[in-house]
Amino acid sequence: MSFESLLFQAVNGFASASGLFLVAAGLSIIFGVTRIVNMAHGSFYMLGLYLAVTLAPRLGEVFGDALGFWGAILGAALITAALGALVEVLLLRRIYAAPELYQLLATFALLLILSDATLALWGPEDILGPRAPGLTGTVELLGRQLPDSDIFLALIGPIVLIVLHIVLTRTRFGRLVRAATQDREMVAALGINEAVLFTAVFALGTGIAGFGGALQMAREPANLALDLSVLGDAFVVVVIGGLGSIRGAYLAALLVAEVKALCTALGIVEVAGFTFNMSRLTLVAEFLVMAVVLVVRPHGLFGRPLPPAARRGDMEAPLAPLGQRGRFLVLAALALFAAVPLFGLVSSYAPVLALDMVIAALFAASLHLLMGPGGLASFGHAAYFGLGAYGTAYAATVLGLPTPLALGVGIITASAGAVLFGWFCVRLEGVYFAMLTLAFAQIVWSIAHQWEEVTGGSNGLFGVWPDAPFDSAGGLYLAALAVTVLGLVLLRRLVFAPLGLALRAARDSRLRAEASGIAVEKVRWLAFAVAGTLCGAAGGLFAFAKGSISPEAISVGRSIDGLVMVLLGGVHSLMGPLLGAGGLTLLQDMVMRESPFWRGLLGLLILALVLAFPSGLAGGLRRVRSTP
Amino acid sequence: MSTLAPLLEMEGLDAWYGEAKILFGLSLQVAPGEAVALVGRNGAGKSTTLKAIIGLVRRRARRLSFGGTDLIPLPTHAIARLGIGYVPEDRRIFTELTVRENLDLGRRPPRPGAGRAAWTLEAVFELFPQLGDMRERRGGQMSGGEQQMLAVARALIGNPALLLLDEPSEGVAPIVVEQMGRALARLKATGLSLLICEENSDLCAGLCDRVLRIEQGELRGPAPAPPP
| DSSP-based three-state secondary structure for B28 | strand
Q: For B82-93, how does the pLDDT look when each residue is reduced to its tens digit (9 = 90+)?
A: 999 999 988 999
pLDDT at A1: 54
The predicted model gives B97-105 an average pLDDT of 94
Give the bridge partners for B86, in sequence order: B164
Contact B106 A190 (CB under 8 A): yes
Question: How far is residue A414 from each of residues A203, A207, A355, A391, A408, measured CA to CA in Å?
Answer: 42, 41, 21, 8, 10
Contact A188 B154 (CB under 8 A): no
Query: Which chain B residues contact residue A195 at CB under 8 A?
Result: 75
- Amino acid A285 reads A
Domain with residue B162: its CATH number is: 3.40.50.300
User: Chain B closest CA to A167's CA: distance in Å?
Assistant: 14
- A175 CB near a chain B CB, below 8 Å? yes
Query: Which chain A residues contact residue B54 at CB under 8 A?
Result: 189
- Residue pair A46/A22 in contact (Cβ under 8 Å)? The answer is no
Contact A182 B56 (CB under 8 A): no
Q: ipTM of this predicted complex?
A: 0.92
b/e per residue B180-212 (b: at least 16 CB within 10 A): bbebbeebbeeebbbbbbbebeebbeebbbbbb
Alpha-carbon span A234 to A533, nearest angstrom: 30
Please report, for chain A, the start and end positions of each structural domain, with discontinuous segments joined by +.
3-122+194-238, 349-559
Contact A190 B88 (CB under 8 A): no
Radius of gyration, alpha carbons of chain A: 25
Query: Which chain B residues contact residue A190 at CB under 8 A?
Result: 77, 80, 86, 105-106, 108, 154-155, 158
Contact A191 B81 (CB under 8 A): yes
pLDDT at A462: 87
b/e per residue A330-339 (b: at least 16 CB within 10 A): beeeeeebee
- A186 CB near a chain B CB, below 8 Å? yes
B33 or A263: which leads in pLDDT = B33
Radius of gyration, alpha carbons of chain B: 17
Alpha-carbon span A609 to A255, nearest angstrom: 40
pLDDT at A205: 95
- Residue pair B158/B107 in contact (Cβ under 8 Å)? The answer is yes
Alpha-carbon span A230 to A20, nearest angstrom: 8
Closest residue to A191, CB basis, from B92, B94, B108: B108
Closest residue to B56, CB basis, from A182, A185, A195: A185
Q: Which residues of chain A have pLDDT under 50?
A: 309-315, 627-628
pLDDT at A13: 87
- Residue pair A527/A537 in contact (Cβ under 8 Å)? The answer is no
Alpha-carbon span A413 to A384, nearest angstrom: 8
Mean pLDDT, rounded, of chain B? 89
Give burial (CB, 10 Å; 0-12/13-18/19+) of A225. Answer: exposed
Reported confidence tier of residue B1, pLDDT bands at 50, 70, 90: very low
Query: Which chain A residues contact residue B57 at CB under 8 A?
Result: none
Q: Left (φ > 0), alpha (ψ -120 to 50) or beta: where does B85 sit?
A: beta
Q: For B43-63, how does the pLDDT look when each residue is reduced to its tens digit (9 = 90+)?
A: 888 999 999 999 999 999 999
| DSSP-based three-state secondary structure for B133 | coil
- Specify if B227 maps to a domain: no
Query: Which of A165, A186, A314, A315 has the highest number of chain B CBs within 10 A, making it the mutation to test binding with B?
Result: A186
Question: How far is residue B96 from each of residues A20, A187, A191, A478, B141, measured CA to CA in Å?
Answer: 26, 14, 20, 61, 9
Q: In what order do the strands lie in the sheet with B162-166?
A: B84-87, B162-166, B193-197, B35-39, B210-215, B218-220
> How many folded domains does chain B comprise?
1
pLDDT at A337: 84
**What is the torsional sign of CA A490, A496, A499, A501?**
positive
The yes-or-no verdict on residue B227 having pLDDT over 50 is no
Contact B92 A186 (CB under 8 A): yes
Mean pLDDT is lowest, of A88-97, B135-144, B218-227, for B218-227
Using CA coordinates, name the residue in chain B closest to A185.
B56
Tally Cβ neighbours within 10 Å of residue A459.
11
Q: What is the largest CA-CA distance in chain A?
A: 81
| DSSP-based three-state secondary structure for B14 | strand
A64 or B105: which leads in pLDDT = B105
Which residues does B contribute to its contact with A (CB < 8 Å)? 18-19, 54, 56, 75-78, 80-81, 86, 88, 92, 94-97, 101, 104-106, 108, 154-155, 158
Nearest one of A422, A410, A29, A443 to A208, comparing CA atoms = A29
pLDDT at A496: 92
Please name the residues in contact with A45: beta carbons below 8 A apart, sequence gap of 6 or more: A22, A23, A209, A210, A212, A213, A226, A227, A230, A234
Alpha-carbon span A226 to B51, nearest angstrom: 46
Alpha-carbon span A445 to A232, nearest angstrom: 13
pLDDT at A81: 97
Cis ω for the linkage preceding A469 (within 30 of 0): yes
| Backbone φ, ψ for residue B163 (5° rounding) | -110, 125
**Residue A463 DSSP code:** -
- Specify if B80 maps to a domain: yes
| Backbone φ, ψ for residue B15 (5° rounding) | -145, 150
pLDDT at A615: 59
- Specify if B178 maps to a domain: yes
- Residue pair B149/B103 in contact (Cβ under 8 Å)? The answer is no
**Residue A349 DSSP code:** T
Using CA coordinates, name the residue in chain A closest to B86.
A189
Nearest one of A279, A200, A286 to A241, comparing CA atoms = A286
Please name the residues in contact with A191: beta carbons below 8 A apart, sequence gap of 6 or more: B77, B80, B81, B106, B108, B158
**Residue A396 DSSP code:** H
pLDDT at A2: 66
Please name the residues in contact with A424: beta carbons below 8 A apart, sequence gap of 6 or more: A291, A294, A295, A436, A440
- A586 CB near a chain B CB, below 8 Å? no
Query: Which chain B residues contact residue A193 at CB under 8 A?
Result: 75, 77-78
User: Chain A closest CA to B38's CA: distance in Å?
Assistant: 20
Helices (H), chain B: 46-54, 76-81, 99-106, 121-127, 129-132, 144-156, 174-189, 201-204
Give the bridge partners for B218, in sequence order: B215
- Residue pair A131/A60 in contact (Cβ under 8 Å)? The answer is no
Nearest one of A351, A348, A413, A389 to A547, comparing CA atoms = A389
Helices (H), A317-472: 324-338, 340-343, 350-371, 382-397, 403-425, 430-450, 452-455
Closest residue to B77, CB basis, from A172, A183, A192: A192
Give the bridge partners for B66, in sequence order: B8, B69
Nearest 10 degrees: CA dihedral of A614, A619, A622, A628? -10
**What is the torsional sign of CA A534, A536, A540, A543?**
positive
Reported confidence tier of residue B215, pLDDT bands at 50, 70, 90: confident
Closest residue to B158, CB basis, from A181, A190, A311: A190
Give the rounded percent of residues in chain B with a pLDDT score beyond 90: 67
- Residue pair B164/B50 in contact (Cβ under 8 Å)? The answer is yes
Tally Cβ neighbours within 10 Å of residue A385.
35
- Residue pair A76/A211 in contact (Cβ under 8 Å)? The answer is yes
The yes-or-no verdict on residue B107 having pLDDT over 50 is yes
Contact A191 B158 (CB under 8 A): yes
Using CA coordinates, name the residue in chain A closest to B107.
A190
pLDDT at A321: 73
- A295 CB near a chain B CB, below 8 Å? no
Residue B102 belongs to what domain range? Answer: 8-220
- Residue pair A379/A364 in contact (Cβ under 8 Å)? The answer is no
- A335 CB near a chain B CB, below 8 Å? no
Nearest one of A491, A485, A494, A481 to A366, comparing CA atoms = A491
Reported confidence tier of residue B228, pLDDT bands at 50, 70, 90: very low
Reported confidence tier of residue B188, pLDDT bands at 50, 70, 90: very high
